[in-house]
Structure 1
Amino acid sequence: MIDDLRRSPNALAPHYSRFRVAERLLLTGHSHQAWPDVALDGQVEAFTDAAEAVDAKWERAFAKAERVRGGFRRLLDDPTADLALDANTHALVVRFLSALDLRARPRLVTTDGEFHSVRRQLARLAEEGVEVVRVPAEPADTLAERLAAATDARTSAVLVSAVLFETSRIVPGLAGLAESCAAAGVELLIDAYHALGVLPFSAPRSAWVTGGGYKYLQLGEGNCFLRLPAHAAGLRPVITGWFAEFAALADESTPDRVVYAPGGDRFAGSTYDPTSHYRAARVFDFFDEQKLTPDLLREISQHQTGLLADAFDALNAPDDLITRDRTTPRTAFAGFLALRSPHAGRLRQALAHRGVSTDSRGDHLRLGPAPYLSDDQLEAAIATLGETLS
């Protein structure tokens, strides 16, 4: 199948006609991949159910939410996972943080390479007196060990990404980190956003895992999850929405304490727009129909990022202008090619002016391919980069 995806036009491209992926050089696949056309069918179905059932639509909407959980469970290699859903990972991470006993253990350990939803929130908590320790993300090969070494008896949680969002570097050793955290009574939260949909992923059962479908999974906005470990059953998040007691609303008694639903609903929020779940359910079905398994997606990604890297090297650009990590094995990277340049922001703007969509984070220009792009398109994008550099 991968040969069909390398050709021009790519065999998947006709399924993305509304995003015109065959006509555009969309190298933002690590940030916002195109949606397959069936995603629109899901959105129409959501409107139709609302129009037909009005307030009774929620039974249908909850069924869609469960299908979305099923899709994430398959990607997590955890068929019985307890999952809380929400529109974004920030809402879920905040509930996670609110369940920690920060009075007794007022210390959080993280890295200086976390995405902004965690970086900003922890920075604000630090302003209010929570001790936040930021371990340098590089070198990634030793990050897990250094995080474990930074924990102590005052540590409530460690928060780390499975793949670093600036560089695409896979963080090894998370299983060992999970063992260290469990032994010390420290919670471990793994951000899997840049892992799911681009490489096979399985997290230790003792760890919390968050992520979503806005990037590689093509689910669009509003589709994020928090996987709970088994010991989460006794936790009571302070930040809590009324959906977390949805199953108990029929009980007319007045409990002495705030009650929580079992399983992932313990970390549920409140009323949400179910359209995102209708769309996601259709896209998950599409991935199944096209046999876009984690193993195949990894094979596609490795081919595409390798092609981009080789084409970039052939430009022979001066390292002080733009370069990449050539010392780390390519298998240690996930779904995009990170190029380092002091002019990353200007290059992104110049490429956009020439019809190539990319993005930049600090001094990294990020090139994110996607399964629906052909080899010719990737080579054309690098050729445009060469013209821009010159």
Structure 2
Amino acid sequence: MGALAEHYRASRVSERLLLTGHSHQAWPDVARDAQLEAFDDAAALLDEKWSRAFAKAERVRQGWLRLLGDDGSGVVTLADSTHTLLVRLLSAWDWGTRPRIVTTDGEFHSARRQLARLEEGFIDVVRVPAEPVETLAERLAAEVDDDTGLVLVSKVLFGTAHVVPHLAALAAAARRHGTVLVVDAYHAVGALDWSLADDDLHDAYVLGGGYKYLQHGEGVCAMRWPRGTTLRPYVTGWFAEFADLSAAPAGAVGFGDGPERFAGSTYDPTSHYRAARVLDFFDEHRLTPARLREVSVHQVGRLAAGVAALDVDPGVLAVAVPDPAERAGFLALRTPHAAALQAALLERGVLTDHRGDVLRLGPAPYLRDDQLDEAVALLGECLRSRPAG
């Protein structure tokens, strides 16, 4: 995949050791062209630009449906963040009659914080330990009851890249109790060759974004939801009735079955121009979910093999998810020195990040094997030079 680097010249990916691909992959150079196209349309058309902007948004929505392997049963609403979409969804539920949420202690901060704040008010939040991941779905399913309004779980845990199996069992439990199932797929889409059918999620609400593995940049997040839902969000913007404002009678709030049901208000469409062009770029270079997964398994596996060859005391540094089949798009290394190692690697020109006691190494398809090897060698240098103790 090293030849792909020529399409990322602005980010100089062939010269740099960029191992934050699980957080922010470099944009291909065509993204700049798309941003200029958005400017040119706005300059030439002013308020008439929206027909072109909406066409870009539709391209992005269709791209998300395809990435998820949707069978036609779903609709996608776009927003600037998954938090925005989650809030709109949370506002649609009757919490007076079903005031209970079941989730895990391993969810991303936007959900963790929002649920904690709701818990201070009127929601009962049940947090199931994420470990052991092998039984997580079953343990979540056991907590779902008739008082549970919503259950929220990640397909891939953001801290360790651990893939959560057996979500079909959780989906069945949610279905039995009339509970909304929300799956955070941010670390799955673009990192796994995975579809909704694999976990029987045809009636689930699936959140994701393009900031990481899809190279869409900021402001491109999506919620796939089951067509025909009757949920009516209290948090709703005027774009939800943009198609025909004249048909909106005073005092009545209507919702359709299209993507406008969970829509907000006026937004910056530049991100959708960029995402639409990057989706085309991925198509042109055959960066399908299957191909991206093949590359990811190779790259993360090469990093893991290099770390193993360092022969470090497991108490100092250990691979968090040893089985390649159980990890997604990055290598998580448990170490009490995560913050110090990240800083030391940055001094040596290696970009990584950490979450608590986990150092995260995230490759991307434009990196060469020798770049991965060099990064691991520099990690070994950091380990050898760290203070004793």
Classify the TM-score, shorter chain. over 0.9
TM-superposed deviation, 1:79 = 5.3
Q: 1:39 aligns with which of 9, 18, 31?
A: 31
What is the correspondence of 1:110-125 to structure 2 with a 5 Å cutoff? 110-125=103-118
Task: Give the match for residue 25 of structure 1.
Answer: 17
Task: Give the match for residue 354 of structure 1.
Answer: 348
Task: Give the match for residue 121 of structure 2.
Answer: 128
Instruction: Verify the 8 A CA contact 1:102 1:156 in the aligned structure 2.
Output: yes
TM-superposed deviation, 1:378 = 0.2
Q: Distance in 2 between matches of 1:303 and 1:206?
A: 33
Q: Distance in 2 between matches of 1:331 and 1:323?
A: 17
Task: Give the match for residue 236 of structure 2.
Answer: 240
Task: Give the match for residue 219 of structure 1.
Answer: 216
Gaps of 5+ in 1: none
TM-superposed deviation, 1:262 = 2.7
Q: 2:310 aligns with which of 315, 325, 343?
A: 315
Gaps of 5+ in 2: 385-389
Q: Distance in 1 between matches of 2:326 and 2:88?
A: 32
**Between Structure 1 and Structure 2, how many residues are aligned?**
379
State the secondary structure of the residue aligned to 1:317: coil
Structure 1 residues 62-96: Cα deviation after superposition (integer angstroms, max 9, x where no partner): 00000011111110101533111001000000011
Q: 1:237 is aligned with what amino acid?
A: P
State the secondary structure of the residue aligned to 2:318: coil
Q: 2:117 is aligned with what amino acid?
A: R
Task: Give the match for residue 364 of structure 2.
Answer: 370
**Matching of residue 188 in structure 1 with residue 181 in structure 2:** yes
Across the aligned residues of Structure 1 and Structure 2, the Cα RMSD in angstroms comes to 1.1
Structure 1 residues 112-134: Cα deviation after superposition (integer angstroms, max 9, x where no partner): 00000100000000011310000
State the secondary structure of the residue aligned to 2:206: strand
**Matching of residue 164 in structure 1 with residue 157 in structure 2:** yes
Moved over 3 A (4+): none
Q: Distance in 2 between matches of 1:70 and 1:229?
A: 15
Task: Give the match for residue 339 of structure 1.
Answer: 333
Q: Distance in 1 between matches of 2:51 and 2:340?
A: 49
Instruction: Verify the 8 A CA contact 1:227 1:264 in the aligned structure 2.
Output: no
Q: Distance in 2 between matches of 1:246 and 1:380?
A: 53
Structure 1 residues 158-177: Cα deviation after superposition (integer angstroms, max 9, x where no partner): 00000000010000011121
Identity across matched positions, percent: 60
Q: Distance in 2 between matches of 1:96 and 1:129?
A: 16
Q: Distance in 1 between matches of 2:356 and 2:320?
A: 16
Under a length normalisation based on structure 1, what TM-score does the superposition of the two structures give? 0.95
Structure 1 residues 258-303: Cα deviation after superposition (integer angstroms, max 9, x where no partner): 1223322100011110000000011000000000010011110000
Q: 1:229 is aligned with what amino acid?
A: P
